[in-house]
Chains A and B, each alone.
Chain A
Amino acid sequence: MRASLALTAAIYAAGLAAWSGWCAVADAGRPRVLSGALVVLECALVLHGALGAVALIAGSVPAEPAVYGGYLVASVVLIPAVAAGAADRGSRWDHVILAIGCVATAAVALRMLAIADA
């Protein structure tokens, strides 16, 4: 379940990055649905992080537990950290910042998948 959740989160984050990128190109204000979609992504990442932490505590150790733990923490804090810097504005560059955060989140989710499978 963790693997499919990580893959779903990676694809979803990539989609949100594309959407944010489009908003930046169009220089439109931030749609409320995009903010909602970011919250959904964060919920999925928190759930995945909780499942991963439980698995680590239970002894289901991936190839690099320290790196995996780091990625788990990074996946949970990335979106709030990035969104905080672009929260109250809806400018072109705020959407660029959101897109960067979503791309990084997708990369982290894919890295976790790779480590878990190794």
Chain B
Amino acid sequence: MREPRPGPLRALLVAYRILAVAALARSGAQLATRASAAPLAYGLSAFAGAVYLTAAIALAAQGPAARRVALVACSTELAGVLGVGTLSLAIPDAFGDQSVWSQFGAGYGFAPLVLPPLGLWWLTSTLAPRWPSSDRCG
């Protein structure tokens, strides 16, 4: 029987799934109805949604490969929200419209800024010890 997931991971997964569905659904509707208005912003939102979905799936899965994928996804999210967030404040008209990562995710209650560090924290804090403890060496 599969071991139940720890509480913090379950909470993290719920937040990631909600954000993934919100970003993908909204950008999908925007791309379907008015893609030419702000293709960069809507494309970025769709990309962000895909990364959130990848992170949610990888965090839920077990094994070193899934952990690596989750690590890359969370790092991409963090780089994206910091980079796009900074650019959107420095050059407000650069994207044409708001993307998920604009203004550090203010449109999504700053969840895009908060989730990647939490995901990275979870991944690093649950790493299995690589070396035996010192008391067993001596």
A and B from one assembly? yes
A67 touches B26 (CB 8 A): yes
Q: Which residues of B contact A74 (CB under 8 A)?
A: 21-22, 25
A101 touches B14 (CB 8 A): yes
Min CB gap B86→A, angstroms:
24
B1-16, CB < 8 A from A:
6-8, 10-11, 14-15
Q: Which residues of A contact B8 (CB under 8 A)?
A: 93
A7 interfacial by beta-carbon distance below 8 Å:
no
B25 touches A97 (CB 8 A): no
Contact (A85, B10) CB under 8 Å given A100-B18, A104-B18: yes
Residues of B within 8 A of A (CB): 6-8, 10-11, 14-15, 18, 21-22, 25-26, 29-30, 32-33, 108-109
A93 touches B11 (CB 8 A): yes
Residues of A within 8 A of B (CB): 64, 66-67, 70, 74, 78, 82, 85-86, 91-94, 96-97, 100-101, 103-104, 107
Separation of A101 and B29 alpha carbons in the complex (Å): 22
B7 touches A96 (CB 8 A): yes
Of A70, A91, A100, A103, the residue contacting B25 (CB under 8 A) is A70
Name B108's closest neighbour in chain A (CB-CB).
A107
Separation of A82 and B17 alpha carbons in the complex (Å): 10
Contact (A107, B14) CB under 8 Å given A67-B30, A74-B25, A92-B7: no
Can you list 6 A-B contacts with CB-CB less than 8 angstroms, sorted by A residue number?
Answer: A70-B25, A91-B7, A93-B11, A96-B11, A97-B11, A100-B18
User: Given contacts A74-B22, A100-B18, could you give 16 more A-B pairs where the C-beta distance is less than 8 Å?
Assistant: A66-B29, A78-B18, A82-B14, A85-B10, A85-B14, A86-B10, A92-B7, A93-B11, A96-B7, A96-B11, A97-B10, A100-B11, A100-B15, A101-B14, A104-B18, A107-B109
Separation of A104 and B108 alpha carbons in the complex (Å): 9
